[in-house]
Amino acid sequence: MVRRIVHLIGIIFISLLLTGCWDKREINDLAIATAISIDKKDDEYHVAAQVVLPTELSMKGGMGSSPVTLYEASGKSVNEAIRKLTQVSPRIIYLGHLRVVVISEELAKEGIATTVDFLSRGWEIRSDFYMIVSKGRDAKEILNVQTSLEQIPSNELYNILHTSEANYSSTVAVNFFELKTNLERDGKEGVLTGVEILGDPKKGSSKQNVEMIIPDAKIKFKELAVFKKDKLVGWLDEQESRGFNEATNQVKSTIGLV
């Protein structure tokens, strides 16, 4: 009798280890977002997700259309807006591969504590994506510009910021973990790089933008956004930004004229 009970307990224990992927989601059911933008309009958050189209990036080639698409939704919170993206997207928006999150200057001035809190609680969201501030334009417009060197615009944003920080030091590539730490640490404030559009944003959203030698619209990283607690309080120009990086020992390589 005791032996049977031991066997039964053993079977139950082993069965607990064989439950499988209870929360699995097939890749065919997901829309992989590589960037999101967050704007604040009339007490509502407006979220746009830049989603990769796998068929346009496959070795077999696609239909020749844009390799990404943009889904948009609004809500009383960032979480609600992202959930409402399912009203326009045939697949669940997956945020596990984010490269960049763009927040508008208006939202940054109002305060990003709520946004940071949401991003830190998302169980599928990693903390290594870059945070940037859209200067003078809606954050959504930044994600709507077609880029030349990188097929996926979010990759170009990520790489430009990384390259600029490493070779000229007028920008800072701040990932989400660093920003959250700086906002929570006493005696230290947050700093993010600003981004703007050079040229015509409407023409920049067209695929023809990448077919021209001189595109109608380009992305440029410019100036540093300075925060006090969670609110944007001002901008550092190029020289001040380089001085900030020197003072905080973040200069990897730069150049100066004597």
Residue 21 lies in a domain: no
- Cβ proximity of 34 and 155 under 8 Å: yes
Residue 9 lies in a domain: no
Residue 8 lies in a domain: no
**Number of CB atoms found within 10 A of residue 178's CB:** 18
Provide the 8-state DSSP code for 191. Answer: E
Residue 108 lies in a domain: yes
Per-residue pLDDT of the chain (258 residues; tens, 9 = 90+): 677 777 778 777 776 666 555 566 677 789 999 999 999 988 999 999 999 998 777 656 666 688 999 999 999 999 999 999 999 999 999 999 999 999 999 999 999 999 999 999 988 899 999 999 999 999 999 999 999 899 899 999 999 999 999 999 999 999 999 999 999 988 889 999 999 999 999 889 888 888 889 999 999 998 999 999 999 999 999 999 999 999 999 999 998 888
Strand pairing report for 92-94 and 30-41: parallel
Residue 12 lies in a domain: no
Residue 2 lies in a domain: no
Q: pTM surpassing 0.85?
A: yes
Q: What is the DSSP string of 24-67?
A: ---GGGEEEEEEEEEEEETTEEEEEEEEE-HHHHSTT--SSS-S
Buried b (16+ CB within 10 A) or exposed e, 70-94: bbbbebeebbebbebbeeebebebb
Residue 151 lies in a domain: yes
Domain that holds residue 68: 29-247
Residue 24 lies in a domain: no
**Number of CB atoms found within 10 A of residue 167's CB:** 12
Provide the 8-state DSSP code for 175. Answer: B
Q: Structural domain tally of the chain?
A: 1
**242, amino acid identity:** R
